[in-house]
Structure 1
Amino acid sequence: MLVTPDLPSVRLATRLAAPEPGWTVHADAVVVGSGIAGLTAALELRTRVRRVLLVTKGVLSSGSTVWAQGGIAAALDPGDSPAAHLHDTLAAGGGLCDPRAVETLVTEGPRRVRELVARGAVFDTTPDGAISLTREGGHLTDRIAHAGGDATGAEISRALVAQIEAVRDDPGIEVIEHALVLDVLTGAAGPDGTPGAVAGVTLHVIGEGSRDGVGAALAPAVVLATGGIGQVYRSSTNPAQATGDGIAAALRAGALLGDLEFVQFHPTVLWLGTGVKGQLTLVSEAVRGEGALLLDTDGVRFMPDEHPLAELAPRDVVAHAIVRRTAATGSDHVWLDARHLGGEFFARRFPTIHERLAEHGIDPATDLVPVAPAQHYHSGGVVTDLDGRSSLTGLYAVGEVACTGVHGANRLASNSLLEGLVFAHRAARDVAGRVEGGFLPRVEPCPRSGPDALVAAASRARVQRAATDGPGVLRSAEGLRRALATLAAIPTDAQQRRDDGRPLGVPQLAEWETTNVHQVATVLALAALVREESRGGHARSDFARTVDAWRARVGVKSGTDGSVEIGPRPVG
């Protein structure tokens, strides 16, 4: 029987401090985000419902997908199989994958990749015209499809954005760019206080879109595809827009979250010094897949002693090994040695990485490349079923913001793009069927009880420091409790507090994003404190072993008064 630790009492706001909506639009479904998951969901919904609204924080091509270097995994080779892909995914997931979700992913994946080709995505091919496949960490066979060597995400994004642009004038779809979704609107709560059905979202158009200020997009279905949480941390491979907006909005609305503590730190991110922050350059796992080696600062290759797959071990294994090695050698990075691959091969196979390294005066043909772990991917999020449905009627989540059960404790390399693709298709079909069938009726939005919140943008660095030092690569109860205390001390009513006669913060983009970052960091640290073991992307120095009793999901949700409910739940 699991015994969870005593936790500090946490209460979070149930809505952001914001002006009342000044305009309203109506749709059958609202899709939030323009990565592979959001674009696919919008394209599929356009042909299935009368009107879909696609909202993106930047421009259409600014989703996180564009940064994906590694590729997309699928059993496309005749010698491969969904069963083999399933085996490798379950092995990487540390016993916490939902086998049904993984089976769905690997079975439907090859067909969805071929449909992506039909939509115009151009993958690298062999001389006979077949999609060229390579291997990455945790995969026991070659099943990673690439485009432009290390520009897979950019090519997929280009193809899907072109499809959206081709139908942008269609009255059945509207695109709103430069728009931050603030809160998920819900109808009247049930007699027992359970949240009502989804009624739409509030959103702020940042200033370059077709509408200004705060508005309301009313719809019986909302599909969150908002990507990751990278800016919760001081350093990340995620773009600046990855501020956990979807997770925070779902939390405030009362949706169930899960697996939040499982954060994947990419082991080989270009190290440029301790003072560097923001989005960092990722040196793809595919470089190690081609034979690059990891050396410590004494020149010793250390991964063969850590795992049978050496440099191609799952990412959590490699990241934790690097952290231990840097501690042992008194350094803050290790070296990636790709010199034996040859400069011509490296430049041809990894043109984007080669260009980024050259910007910093590094030639991988002659130089060792300094690397260290940085936040890369979040395996947790809004808990969904196999059709993307969350615990709130009408709220769906797809892609990195979702917790489908595919990744478990650790994402297998290049499964993320496939997950977004497969489950966006499933969610779009489910939304369309339930809207057209009358199972998702329109409801009037009702105000939620509980406080509103605004965290001053000036607090962002403090939040990031607490997250990095607390629920970072290696964690402990002491560090997590210290992080929670720091986060609790940060004012969340900046719009009401005054300093020198001025408010600490006013409702605007930077403050809303910082509030989201603060809320995500808080529940992430809580989940990491609850799980007293080490598994996958969650490593505790005070509970270094994996505990079989913890083969469970840590579920998190917010009550109607903002109190956080947290505890173990069955996976799936």
Structure 2
Amino acid sequence: MQERIVSEVLVIGSGIAGCVCALTLAEEGVPCTIITAGERLSHGNTELAQGGIVFEAEGDAPSILEQDILTAGWNHNYVKAVRQLCELGPEILQELFINKLKIPFNQRKPGDWYLTKEGGHSLPRILYCDDHTGRNIMECLAKAVSEHPNITVLTKRTAIDVLTTHHHSTHMDFKYSLANSCVGAYVFNEASGEVETLLSRYTVLATGGIGQVYLHTTNTASSIGSGVAMAHRAGAKLLNCEYVQFHPTALYAGKRGGQRFLVSEAVRGEGAVLVDGCGDPFMHRYDERADLAPRDIVTRAIMDVMLKSGEDCVYLDAANNIDKDIAKRFPTITERCKDMGMDITREPIPVVPAAHYFCGGVLADLHGKTTLKRLYAVGECSCTGVHGANRLASTSLLEGLVWGVQSGRDIASRISHSEPMSNKLRDSIRDWVSAGDVHNDDPALINQDWATIRNTMWNYVGISRSTARLHRAFSDLRMLAKNLQDFYKNTPLTKPLIDLFHGCQTAYVVTMSAMRNKESKGCHFRADD
């Protein structure tokens, strides 16, 4: 008998958005369950965030931040969502992160914050904890979530599919209903090797990004687009999936693919300058904002310099351009470079672009609601419209915070005015049925399929795209998706197999979106536009 777990709300993912949503629900008196694929809550991308989180500068105003976001996003943004972020963000940050959780942001004295400036911002409004802001945020959030009596934390759980009344109910009353509702998820328990049925009145996707479908990325291993893939299969609407932001400055450590260490944009915000192999600055030739231009512009400039020079990287010169104590301001970056034999106080840092942030995702409104009833999406897996065609630096943590709170409050309000899940519905949801027992999940096959996905996405659906490249990617991924579908049906589930299936579907979705959009804008650059 498979285990069935019933909760009021199921939160899938434990980064800033998922944890804040769970905490908000718990504080409103709503019991909830949060699942994470790792052994601990803080194993995702939030923990890696270096630069900081948008707050407010002296002389700042919501309208000024709004204009910066719209400019960076190529005015492809949803203005109402941008306005919500700008108006509510600083207030929520002050209340939850500063007053309540007491996250140790850098300050000269109590309440006198150090604020830095990053690319695309007109004012220094970035609040930070040295260069490990995400780590400090997640330490405080994970502690609060783990200790709250209204929150159940389940670790080493990987969501397979969201459950819906149309797809998974056996009762004709729900099959013939026009409304399709989400009622939880099938979840793989890595410890037991079993699939659990987690039933819930509301489900929140907070699964993070998609960077691992690319050969070079700053993202953690769990960032394979699982939320996007699951929502797509369930019939929820996706939007802007072609807009994948590449961070211009990931530490170059040779041609080997995989996760790359991020060199924060805050380094350029403090004065560091990008230079070519001869030590000559070049960003002024590409944009009047030079090294503080938005990320899409800086990324394409770096690629252009690399292509013209034939070199494998460019360099970020902090040693000759930052007056502050670099090692003290950026201890994590300094230490990582030191481990690789580099002294950034004396020599430039070799950097290359890498897949960093997904600006598209599951369409979500101002409260995080998706087009599938009772399913919410928050954080990087969602598309609220805040980022448009290109994300402004340090807005991702703030979006996760704001929509985490907004979704939690909205769900809590709805639960207080609605009936619990009926026994008829609960009993009609079938448990997971394993389709096969052919044990052919060979690691060599899985690794080869991942290599195909990552190389295809990097070469054909990467920083620069063309009709020919996209058609080649579409053809290759369609064939791989078909083969995986057959493979998936006949092989007992394992976490590597689930991740591969989700990653392939995500790559296919991004490629299809890129094919449909013929216009170059922001992160989506068509070389043949």
Settle same-fold status: TM greater than 0.5.
yes
Q: Runs of 5+ in structure 1 lacking a partner? A: 1-20, 544-572
Partner deviation per Cα, 1:224-260 (whole Å, 9 max, x = no partner): 1110001111111001111111111111111000110
The alignment status of 1:509 with 2:495, answered yes or no, reads: yes
Q: Quick one: which of 128, 134, 147 aligns to 1:146?
A: 128
Matching of residue 527 in structure 1 with residue 517 in structure 2: no
Paired residue secondary structure (1:475) = coil
Q: 1:379 to 1:195 in 2, by over 3 A?
A: farther
Structure 2: which 5+ runs fail to align?
168-173
**Residue matched to 1:105:** 85
Per-residue CA deviations over 1:457-503 (Å, capped at 9, x if unaligned) read 231111111111121010001001101111122254558569xxxx9
Distance 1:311 1:522 in 2: 33
Q: Give the superposition deviation at 1:440.
A: 8.0
What is residue 470 of structure 1 aligned with on the other side?
460
Tell me: CA distance 1:494–1:398, structure 2 relative to 1, closer, same or farther (3 Å): closer
Q: Quick check: 1:199 aligned with 2:198?
A: no
* CA pair 92-221 structure 1, distance change in 2 beyond 3 A: same
CA contact (8 A) 2:203 2:376 kept: yes
Distance 2:385 2:127 in 1: 23
**Is the Cα–Cα contact under 8 Å of residues 165 and 180 in structure 2 kept in the other structure?**
yes
Matched residue type, 1:175: V
Q: Deviations over 1:89-124 (max 9, x none)?
A: 111111110010000001001111112112121100
Asked if the contact 1:487/1:518 (under 8 Å) is kept, the reply is: yes
- Measured in 2, the distance between the counterparts of 1:344 and 1:136 equals 16
- SS of alignment partner, residue 522 of structure 2: coil
SS of the counterpart of 2:42? helix
Distance in 1 between residues matched to 2:110 and 2:236, nearest whole Å: 49
Question: Could you give the per-residue CA deviations for residues 511-556 of structure 1, whole angstroms, max 9, x where no partner exists?
Answer: 110111100000101111111111111111001xxxxxxxxxxxxx
Match of 2:213 in 1: 232
Name 1:179's counterpart in structure 2: 157
Deviates more, 1:332-341 or 1:260-269: 332-341
Residue 487 of structure 1 corresponds to: 477
Superposition map of 1:144-543 within 5 A: 144-147=126-129, 149-167=130-148, 170=149, 172-188=150-166, 196-207=180-191, 213-274=194-255, 276-341=256-321, 345-438=325-418, 441=421, 443-444=425-426, 457-458=446-447, 459-490=449-480, 492-494=482-484, 506-543=492-529
SS of 1:265's equivalent in the other structure is strand
Structure-2 residue corresponding to 1:551: none
1:133 aligns with 2:125: no
Q: Using the alignment, how far apart are the partners of 2:118 and 2:452 within structure 1?
A: 36
Contact in 1 for aligned 2:55/2:93 (Cα 8 Å): yes
Aligned to 1:123: 105
Quote the Cα distance in structure 1 between the aligned partners of 2:457 and 2:123: 36
SS in 2 for 1:539: coil
* Aligned residue pairs, count: 508
How far apart, CA to CA, are the structure 2 residues paired with 1:523 and 1:193?
Answer: 28
The Cα of 1:343 is off from its aligned counterpart by 9.3
The code of the aligned residue for 2:446 comes to A
Give secondary structure in 1 for the equivalent of 2:77. coil
TM-superposed deviation, 1:395 = 0.4
Amino acid across the alignment from 1:382: V
461-470 or 100-109, which moves further after superposition? 461-470
Q: 1:440 to 1:434 in 2, by over 3 A?
A: farther
- Equivalent pair of 1:494/1:505 in contact (CA under 8 Å): no
Judge conservation of contact 2:166–2:175 (CA < 8 Å) in 1: no
Deviations 1:56-107 (A, max 9, x none): 11111212110000100122x3411111111101111111100100000010
Mapped partners of 2:324, 2:215: distance in 1: 34
Q: Distance in 2 between matches of 1:452 and 1:476?
A: 39
Does the aligned pair in 2 maintain the 1:186–1:196 contact within 8 Å? yes
The alpha carbon displacement at 1:34 in A equals 1.0
Taking structure 2 as the reference length, the TM-score comes to 0.91
SS at match of 1:28: strand
Percent of paired sites with the same residue: 38
Asked if the contact 1:434/1:440 (under 8 Å) is kept, the reply is: no
2: distance between equivalents of 1:180 and 1:56? Answer: 7
Counterpart Cα distance in 1 of 2:221 and 2:13: 14
